[in-house]
């Protein structure tokens, strides 16, 4: 198996990349509920799982922080939904 060294380089321009993690494309942004907002960050269908676990994930927490800073509001789902 070849070893990749830091000084090696790869040209990735010819590799087609499809990101299948585009949750927000399917979300109805007209409905401003907390649960709909949560669905942006997960493919989970069990509402209990979403409500109990999602708010503790790194991606979610970072997004809340960054969105709140961008929108100039409180770093909460409610603050973000109101500001947007």
Give residue-wise pLDDT tens across range 36-46.
Answer: 888 888 878 88
The reply to whether 54 falls in a domain is yes
76 touches 64 (CB < 8 A): yes
pLDDT band with cut points at 50, 70 and 90 for residue 26: low
**pLDDT given for residue 68 in this prediction:** 95
The reply to whether 60 falls in a domain is yes
The reply to whether 3 falls in a domain is no
Q: What values do phi and psi take at 26, rounded to 5? A: -85, -10
Residue, of 27 and 62, whose pLDDT is higher: 62
Residue 6 has pLDDT above 70, yes or no: no
Number of domains in the chain: 1
pLDDT band with cut points at 50, 70 and 90 for residue 76: very high
Residue 13 has pLDDT above 70, yes or no: yes
How far is Cα 64 from Cα 37, in angstroms, rounded to an integer?
Answer: 11
Residue 39: domain span: 28-83
The reply to whether 67 falls in a domain is yes
């Amino acid at each position: 198996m070849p070893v990749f060294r830091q000084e090696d380089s790869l040209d990735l321009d010819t590799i087609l990349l499809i990101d299948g993690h585009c949750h927000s494309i399917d979300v109805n942004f007209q409905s401003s509920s907390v649960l709909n907002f949560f669905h942006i960050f997960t493919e989970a269908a069990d509402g209990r799982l979403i409500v109990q676990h999602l708010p503790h994930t790194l991606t979610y927490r970072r997004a809340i922080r960054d969105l709140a800073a961008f929108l100039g509001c409180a770093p909460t789902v409610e603050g973000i939904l109101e500001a947007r």
